[in-house]
Amino acid sequence: MSVTPRQTGTVLDEIIAGVLTDLRERQELVEEASLREAVELIDPPLDPQRALRAEGLSVIAEVKRASPSKGHLAEIPDPAVLARQYEAGGATAISVLTEQRRFHGSLADLDAVRKDVSVPVLRKDFVVTEYQVLEARAHGADLVLLIVAALDDPELETLYRLTRRLGMTALVEVHTPEEARRAAGLGASVVGVNARNLKTLEVDPGNFSALVSQLPDQAVKIAESGILTVDDAVAAHRAGADAILVGEALVRSGDPAAFISAIREATAS
């Protein structure tokens, strides 16, 4: 599978350029045919949607060592240990960052987490090729992140359909009204609104509230980024979020299980 070169300009463009460089190295080691064989042998993916739609606010808890905006966040020598703490606290799903350069993640982290938890697992990365979707499934992911800002309409459609064919759930991420319309046109059943503009890394805490009415009525609605306290989580829930995706606050909390439990208790119906 060939990879289309992309011009750089924004932070998102620069991240994707690095992702594609690292991807080419993995493609030299593992042929796509081998991934497809692995997909056929692995257990079927878990469906997270019923749990994400449950009463109260669901939490997608993220294994996150670093970020382009904040730099180093936490060491996380064993991501499985952290993921088990998340699950013990009541996390509905675990998000594992697998991007290497800016987030210091890896597919090995995904493998470790998938092996040790029973809840659905999201591969969180800058997915722009079919190969990456196949990688996600071959390594046990139940969900894959598709960032609308990183994809044109044909790419988004292709990756979304492949994700569905493999039995996985696509978390389709948007940041603007135009991106929300594209997600709706795709028929996305799980949509995340990122408060962080990935092109500039600026955060708008009100972005979820501004866009939630433009998301498909039947979609699971997820608030992403900028949620640092229990009060932030409660505000997202009151604005219409079915779930939140939280990383930084959890890895810095000292007691992530208690943090998740507090969020769940504060938003219980």
Decide if 124 is catalytic.
yes
* Active-site entry in 67, 87, 95, 124: 124
Decide if 225 is catalytic.
yes
* Active-site entry in 58, 64, 87, 197: 64
Decide if 173 is catalytic.
yes
Tokens 């769940």 — which residue?
264
Alpha-carbon gap, residue 232 to 239, rounded angstroms: 11
Decide if 179 is catalytic.
no
In eight-state DSSP terms, residue 213 is G
* Active-site entry in 87, 135, 224, 248: 224
| Joined tokens for residue 48 | 């997270």
* Active-site entry in 58, 62, 95, 221: 62
* Active-site entry in 173, 179, 207, 248: 173
The three-state secondary structure class of 148 is helix
Which helix (H) or strand (E) element contains residue 113?
Answer: helix 107-116
| Joined tokens for residue 47 | 């469906």
* Active-site entry in 95, 197, 209, 225: 225
From the list 101, 57, 64, the residue with the least C-alpha distance to 82 is 64
Decide if 207 is catalytic.
no
* Active-site entry in 67, 95, 194, 197: 194
Decide if 31 is catalytic.
no
Helices and strands counted in the chain (H then E): 12, 10
Decide if 28 is catalytic.
no
- Write out the catalytic residue numbers: 62, 64, 124, 173, 194, 224-225
